[in-house]
Structures are given as C-alpha cells and as structure tokens.
Amino acid sequence: MSDGSESCPLSVDEGATVQLSHGSGGVMMHRLLEQVIFPALGDDPAAARHDSAVLAASDGRRAFTTDSYVVRPRFFPGGDIGSLAVHGSVNDLAMCGARPRWLSLGLILEEGLPIDELRRILESLRRAADEAGVRIVTGDTKVVDRGKGDGLFINTSGIGVIEHDLDINPGSVRDGDVILLSGDIGRHGIAVMAAREGLAFETTIESDSAPLHKPVLALLEAGLPVHCLRDLTRGGLAAALKELMRDSSLSARIREADIPVEPQVRGACEMLGLDPLHVANEGRMIVVLPPGAADDALEILRSFPVSQNAGSIGQISAGQPGRVVLESVVGTSRMVEMLHGEQLPRIC
C-alpha cells in the first residue's frame, strides 16, 4: 500500500480482536484483507481487489461478485436493506462493464423479526431486482437465536455478462485520463447516520442508493474507451480514488469546486466534523477515460436520471504513485487520504 503505513502491524496486542473499524472501508480494513484474509486464501489476491471477478467462459466473459448487507436501521430515507442488497451487487457487476443478469439471495434472520417487516423488505428487494433487470435464481434462509443477529443480514451474489472487449480495471488507467463523477456525494452515509442516530435536519436527506448499470452499458454501447469504473461505497470518493491510484501506480488531481455536495449534506458534515469525501454512497461512480472521450461520456451520463449531474472532477497523471491531491475551493492544494477507521463525529 502506498499510504506509507505498512510498518504498522495489524495489531500490536496479543489476542487481538476484530474491531468495527476493520469493516469501515478504510486503512484498517485494507490491513485486515492484506494481512489476514488474502494470505489465508493463498491465491493471487489481485482478482479479489476488484468489485467483481472476471471469469472466462467458452462463449465470452462473465463477471461474478458477492456482497453482504448489515445496514442499520433496515429502513432509511431513500431505501432499505432489501433495495440496497440489489443495488450493491448490481453496481459491483456494472463496474466491470457487465450486464447484470442473475442474483443469489442469502437471508440470515434473527428469531423475533416481524414477518411483516421481512415481507416489506423482500418486496422492496424484488422491485429493485425487476427495475435492474436481474433475476433472483437461487437462495438460502437461516434463522439464528434471538440476540445472535441484528434482525436481518442479507448476502447477494451476482453474475453478469460482459459484452465488450475492454479491460476495465485499474491497470488500464493512463496518464492524462480524466475523472468523471456521476453526481453529488455523501447522501447515503448521511441519510443512514441520521436515521440511525435520530439526527433531525431541516429537510430529510435521502440515500442515493440506485443501480448504475444503465449509464455504464450506454457508455460501452457508444464505443467509448472506458479505462476504469469504480462505484463509491464505504470510505467514499476518497477511498475509491486512493485505491484506484494505488492499484494503477498513478496519481490524481481533483478540484473541490467541481465535486457536487448537496447543501443539506454539506451542512450535516460541517456540523458533525465529517469530510464529504469520506462519506458513503450507494449510487455514485467515477468513470476514468481519455480526455477526448470525456464530452461524449458526459452527454451520455447526463441523459440518465441516476447520473444527470455528472461532471469532470479531475485528471490522472504520472507523478508519485498512489497520491491524490485536492485543489481546494480557496485555491490551495492538499492531500486526500483514506480514512483510517470508523468515521468519528467530533466533540465540538
């Protein structure tokens, strides 16, 4: 990793335990992957670093992905754990440029979960799947004792069909490429945090949870030379860019003034001491491609509601591998770093 912190072991303590920060999409989670999970699995971990694995089949390539959903609360403005479980896996497939086709559904239910609530979540999940054009083709249901789960956990795995010949991955990113962002950032993280913690804002902030495969497929159908796609999830725009620059050994320069953040989200971030660059999203992506293709790409992205506010936010350059620099709104520049662990609201 290029964050210079590899000198720190996972934990200095004997008998270390997993902490919440190990799941937050930041430096600590990367360390858990690099030091515990990948080594235990033996194989080249490179394939596991992407949103989906790309598998060769006799009649073309397939994308394969899996993701688990543990969001609390299960219902939040703009979505719920059911729709999220579809959008997350659909987006992971879309980030390989795949057409999402089939999903599996694993349910872990805690004793005591109201059946009515389960029904509502499954209806929402089904609706999201229909909208995304994916079919739930296999599944599994387990029930655990009261107190042994958090009501409901969902796992979905997905398979998509790759209908293009591009290598959409960090290795294809080139010096000079532009970075497009598909819309405003930070809404999902703030919406969930507000619902979980009972924070009231003047207007309700809705999650951006949405499927991204349609604009992606449209870019590919137009024959645009897409070099890389990355959806913004935990860790936000900062983590997505840092991972991309680490894996491509290039650096990025982005412009704060061009990164849209809704006023309510900005207000909440200012109040809580959070940086919108680090806040989670579930329906936003970055598209990296050569500068000559940027205008066409933006026109296509803006023709879909989910990416109607797409814009160019910066550029890739050679330079120090892994570095991401932000030009601030006041004309100075600073480094962008991945969050180290959990986002912690500050004291004052």
Partner 1 sequence: MKYLDDYRDAEAVRRLAEAIRSEVSRPWTLMEVCGGQTHSIVRFGLDTLLPAELTLVHGPGCPVCVTPAHLIDAAITISRRPEVILCSFGDMLRVPGSKGDLFRAKSGGADVRVVYSPMDALQLAIESPDREVVFFAVGFETTAPANAMAVYQAKARGVTNFSIVCSHVLVPPAMEAVLAAPDNLVQGFLAAGHVCAIMGWEEYFPIIERYHVPIVVTGFEPVDILQGILLCVRQLESGRAEVENQYARWVSREGNLAARNVIHEVFRIIPREWRGIGSIAESGFGLSEAYADFDAARRFSVSDEPEAEDDSGCISGLILQGRRKPEECPHFGTRCTPEHPLGATMVSDEGACAAYYRYRRTERPEEAPA
What does the binding site for partner 1 look like in residue numbers (CB under 8 A)?
Answer: 4-8, 12-13, 17-21, 27-28, 197-199, 263, 266-267, 270, 272-273, 320, 323, 328-335, 337, 340-348
Nearest to 219 by CA among 306, 157, 134: 306
Q: How far apart are CA 34 and CA 10, in angstroms?
A: 9
- The b/e string for 126-148 (b: 16+ C-beta within 10 A; e otherwise) is eebbeebebeeeeeeeeeeeeee
- Which strand ranges, in their side-by-side order, compose the sheet holding 135-144? 53-57, 60-69, 152-162, 98-110, 135-144
| In the complex, least distance from residue 195 CB atom to partner 1, rounded to whole angstroms | 13
Q: How far apart are CA 252 and CA 322, in angstroms?
A: 8
| Cα–Cα distance list, 295 to 19, 298, 306, 310 (Å) | 44, 5, 18, 11
Task: Indicate the residue among 270 and 299 with the shorter CB distance to partner 1.
Answer: 270
Task: Indicate the residue among 206 and 327 with the shorter CB distance to partner 1.
Answer: 327
| In the complex, least distance from residue 141 CB atom to partner 1, rounded to whole angstroms | 29
| In the complex, least distance from residue 299 CB atom to partner 1, rounded to whole angstroms | 29
Burial of 109 (0-12, 13-18, 19+ CB in 10 A): middle
Task: Indicate the residue among 32 and 301 with the shorter CB distance to partner 1.
Answer: 32
| In the complex, least distance from residue 339 CB atom to partner 1, rounded to whole angstroms | 9
Nearest to 35 by CA among 24, 22, 47: 22
Task: Indicate the residue among 139 and 273 with the shorter CB distance to partner 1.
Answer: 273
Task: Indicate the residue among 40 and 200 with the shorter CB distance to partner 1.
Answer: 200
Task: Indicate the residue among 258 and 296 with the shorter CB distance to partner 1.
Answer: 258
- 205, 197 contact by CB (below 8 A): no
What are the structure tokens assigned to 52, written together? 């989906």
Task: Indicate the residue among 163 and 270 with the shorter CB distance to partner 1.
Answer: 270
| In the complex, least distance from residue 342 CB atom to partner 1, rounded to whole angstroms | 8
- Cβ-based neighbours of 235, under 8 Å, separated by 6 or more: 24, 25, 26, 278, 280, 338, 339
Task: Indicate the residue among 71 and 180 with the shorter CB distance to partner 1.
Answer: 71
Residue with token string 């949103």: 51
| In the complex, least distance from residue 212 CB atom to partner 1, rounded to whole angstroms | 27
| In the complex, least distance from residue 239 CB atom to partner 1, rounded to whole angstroms | 14
Bond from prior residue into 9 cis (ω within 30 degrees of 0): no
Under DSSP, the state recorded for 20 is G
| In the complex, least distance from residue 62 CB atom to partner 1, rounded to whole angstroms | 37
Compute the half-sphere exposure of residue 174: CA atoms within 13 Å on the CB side of its CA: 12
